[in-house]
Amino acid sequence: MFRFIKLPLHLLTVLYCIFTLHFCVHWIAGDRNVNNRERDEHIIRNAKATEVLKYMNSSADPCNNFYDYACGKWQEHQQHLQEGDAPISMETQLVQRVRKDVQMLLNAATRTKKPTMNERKIKEFYKSCLTVERSSELQQAFLMNFIKEYHGMPLLAATKWSIHYDWVEVIARLRLNYGFDFLIGMDVDDKAHPTLPGRAVIFLTEPKITLIPRHLCSAGSVVDVEEREQVSAQLQAEVSKDLQAWFSLKEDETERVAGDIIRFEFDLCRFMREEESVPPPPPSAKVDKPERIVYEGRNLVYLSKKFDNIINFRKYLENSLNSSISNMDIVMQAPHYFHNLARLVQLNPLPTLTNYIMYRALSVINLPRNETRNPRAGYCAELVMRYFPKVIGEMYKNKYQRSDIRSDVEQLFVAIKEKLRDALNIVGLPDNARNAFRNKLMLHESLLFPDNKNVKLLDLPLEHTNFWHKQDIAMKYIGYIERQRFYGGDPELDEGIVQAHDIHMKLVANGLITGWGILQPPFYDYLYSNSLKYALIGQRIARELIDAVMPNTQENPITQDDLVVEVFNNISECYRIQFSNYLHNIPNRFYNVTKLHQLQLDSAGLNVAFSAYLAWLDSVDPSNMPILLRETLPGVDFTNTQLFFLGFAQSRCYAEFMEETPPLYLPLDTHTEELYKVIGVLANNVEFAREFGCAPGTEMNPDDKCKLY
């Protein structure tokens, strides 16, 4: 039986006040959270509206040149560009933003928790990079010891270079220790063996990185004499200045060597990246694929004989892997390149080859020449990201990951994937091929986020006094990681995986992994409208998933039957002719297979993302005006669907150094790849022309459209 106790009046009054105050606190806190969210949303929406309007050239005709319409004022709002500066795009701005985030993490004093030993070590590495003196005695000693260890350099008599210099052994040791792929590249695929599943195949490839810009370093590059001489003179001057700064040499001592280095690489480029520039056969032609020759490791002597024994492939592989290759299988991936390399080795004096190899190595090791263009702090942050991606990635994730963002982007992934599944009903494809594509899509189950295991940096010292010694240790760790791929080691050691600070996405066996770096303005904000989310991040997700289901050379027999090949070849040929006409006004000039593939992914990705956005709109109650009104921006006179296309276009605005002010009648060069990545993609989208009222036959609404999905 309950008993009621009668309390004094003054005590009842106190209790009443306590309960009232408690209720008010909770009510005020809840109201404050709502107000804070509304305030943040107001700030974000207005900032995005201002950004959209300031980059537009509203006087341009969107149906004639949508790039000029969306990005016409982008260039004037960027910092002044000097000759040699990297182009500025929204993506490069995001790279700079992430780099600044990393700098803040490295500079921040840890107050909330005890830092791990790895965090302490990479912060000390960063400090040593900030404080290291340029051209100090310590640097000179390290560089001279490095050069001597790799058999000298003819330019420097003190390094005791010998005419018996073995260039194959040197580049093999540089790969073994640092992962460098100078002159000879390698790759590995543990799924490529034709008869023995699980047995890895090593591919001998071209090197991935060159001194000469990529667009000028390929078999198909069209370079006039004036452009080649201009680029060659600029690069030669840079190489000469490097050699002067590193070794306190005079210009007359370095100019000739620098010229030899650049001429050698221009000659090397003549047979590189043929797959990007070889004309494809006519769609109707029946072409047999060349049979791939697989060499057993123990029989590599026969491969070397094909190159007149100028390149000792067995020595290169065994020294670079520090292992016997007798039981490995090797495929020659770029025979024309290697024949050219063998020819150049014979034609050029051995000192030229030596100077080239050593300069390439030293250019990776040394500090950048111009610190006003690339400030030391930014350079040091880039080194940390290059050498310790998992450690800085874990720090970045702990700082910037948010459960609401993760949930939001995961929902976007599901919506995009569902719409792509519907889009796989390509006209002309047999049912078995459609089912094969759908099954491939289902393998990529979810959107993944980096979650690294802790890496033990046991050999990296904690003190920050000797930067050169610490960098050498860090570079050798990267070489070790690279080497593990060829041993079929722990996949957790693969540094090719996306890290938390990365601004890109990558397909993996069970899904699509994304870095946290891309999930921030201007590409994403939790408070953006869905019209922008689907146009920016949604399009990225869609293009990656489409890449997973498009046919390729290693598909199963179902997706390689004649009908499937014909359907996709016709689509690809449509894009190729369209792209070639735009760039060159000649339908058969453009043959870059890689760029063509990327263009198709961009176009199909936009189509799928827009369809997914329309599906989301259909799911919203038409009477729910607060949600629908958020799909536009304040003060921006566009519908939500127009904003979708405008947001996509502005994510690809681009600015570069121009020697002369462009004429008034041509405010932008209207025939570049950068512009076509906007114009070509949108012109092939039926809904775009409808949204902006572009009449049939206009530039942005051509009669013949190319459409993949």
Between 440 and 184, name the one with better pLDDT: 184
In DSSP notation, 282-318 reads PTT---PPPPPPEEEGGGHHHHHHHTTTSS-HHHHHH
Task: Please compute the mean of the pLDDT values over residues 24-53 and round it to a whole number.
Answer: 73
Query: Which of 74-83, 341-350, 664-673 is the least confident region?
Result: 664-673
341-357 pLDDT tens trace: 999 999 999 999 999 99
At residue 191, does pLDDT exceed 80? Answer: no
- pLDDT for 372 equals 66
In DSSP notation, 339-389 reads HHHHHHHHHS-HHHHHHHHHHHHHHHHSPPS-TTTS-HHHHHHHHHHHH-H
Name which of 69, 38, 14 is nearest 694 in CA terms.
69
Of 2-11, 332-341, 372-381, 664-673, the range with the highest mean pLDDT is 332-341
Place of tokens 């026969």: 302
Q: To the nearest whole percent, how much of the chain has pLDDT over 70?
A: 81
Task: Give the chain's count of helices (H) and strands (E).
Answer: 25, 9
519-574 pLDDT tens trace: 998 899 999 999 999 999 999 999 999 988 877 655 455 556 677 777 778 888 88
- pLDDT for 688 equals 95
- pLDDT for 1 equals 37
- pLDDT for 7 equals 41
- pLDDT for 347 equals 95
Name which of 408, 426, 421, 419 is nearest 613 in CA terms.
419
At residue 399, does pLDDT exceed 70? Answer: yes
Identify the band that residue 62 occupies on the pLDDT scale cut at 50, 70 and 90: very high
| DSSP 3-state of 103 | helix
At residue 667, does pLDDT exceed 60? Answer: no
Examine residue 283 and say whether the peptide bond preceding it is cis (omega within 30 degrees of 0).
Answer: no
- Mean pLDDT score across all residues of the chain: 83
Paired sense of beta strands 446-448 and 294-296, if any: unpaired
Architecture of domain 164-366: Orthogonal Bundle (1.10)
Domain boundaries, the chain: 1-83+403-450+497-709, 86-132+374-400+453-496, 164-366
- pLDDT for 15 equals 47
At residue 111, does pLDDT exceed 60? Answer: no
Q: What angle do CA 676, 610, 546 make, to 5 degrees?
A: 75
Of 39-53, 289-303, 335-349, 359-373, the range with the highest mean pLDDT is 335-349
Q: For the chain, what's the residue count?
A: 709
**Is residue 62 a contact partner of residue 694, using CB atoms and an 8 Å limit?**
yes
Q: To the nearest whole percent, how much of the chain has pLDDT over 90?
A: 43
How many whole angstroms separate alpha carbon 264 and alpha carbon 487?
Answer: 33
Task: Please compute the mean of the pLDDT values over residues 175-182 and round it to a whole number.
Answer: 92
Identify the band that residue 276 occupies on the pLDDT scale cut at 50, 70 and 90: low
615-651 pLDDT tens trace: 999 998 888 888 888 899 998 989 999 999 999 999 9
- pLDDT for 681 equals 93
List Cβ neighbours of 648 (8 Å cut-off, separation of 6 or more): 535, 536, 539, 606, 678, 681, 682
Query: Which of 149-163, 394-408, 557-571, 592-606 is the least confident region?
Result: 557-571
At residue 4, does pLDDT exceed 50? Answer: no
Identify the band that residue 2 occupies on the pLDDT scale cut at 50, 70 and 90: very low
CATH 3.40.50.300 fits 1-83+403-450+497-709, yes or no: no
Task: Please compute the mean of the pLDDT values over residues 454-460 and round it to a whole number.
Answer: 71
